[in-house]
Structure 1
C-alpha cells in the first residue's frame, strides 16, 4: 500500500504561510515515517485546510478556527490505522 501525503492549503493574502510552515514541521516530526511527503498549497479566501491523502483532517472553513497540532496528529494516526 502506498503511503499518503499530507497537504496543507493556506491563504496567501491572509499571511497564513508562517503557520503552515510551523504546522508542517510539527506534523512531520511524528509522522515522517508514515507518510510519503508533505505539500504546501497556496490559496486564497481565508483557506486553511489540512488533508491526508483524500481525507480532510481539518478545515478552518468548517471549524471556524485554526487546528491544534495535537488534534492533527491524532486525526492522521487514526486515518493511518
Structure 2
C-alpha cells in the first residue's frame, strides 16, 4: 500500500526547515510505502501532517511533533504490525 503524505506548514513562522526535516525523516523510514510526500506552504501558524488526506498530526492540538511520535502514528495507520526499531521504545 503506497500512501500520499502532506506536510502543511506556516512560512510566516519560518517553519520550512522543520517541515523539510520531517519530510526527510519520513522518507528514510517509509521509503517503500510512500507514493508521494508533499510540502504545502501556508500561513496562520499551521503545522499539520496528513496521510491520504486524513490528519495524523496538528500542532495546534498536539504541539510540535518529534519524528518518533509522527512515525508511530503513521505506522499505526498504514502498517500497524511493522516494527520501528528504536522509535518504538
Q: Does 1:11 align with 2:10?
A: yes
Q: Which blocks of at least 5 consecutive residues in structure 2 are unaligned?
A: 80-89
Count of residues in Structure 1 that have an aligned counterpart in Structure 2 = 79
Unaligned runs of 5+ in 1: none
Normalised TM-score (structure 2): 0.83
* TM-score, normalization by structure 1: 0.91
1:23 equivalent in structure 2: 22
The root-mean-square deviation of aligned C-alpha atoms, in Å, is 1.0
Q: Offset at 1:55?
A: 1.5
State the structure with bigger RCO (CA 8 A, min sep 6), 1 or 2: 1
Determine which structure has more spread, i.e. the larger CA radius of gyration: 2
- Which aligned runs of 4 or more in structure 1 are off by greater than 2 angstroms? none
Q: What aligned pairs does 1:1-81 form with structure 2 within 5 A after superposition? A: 3-63=2-62, 65-81=63-79
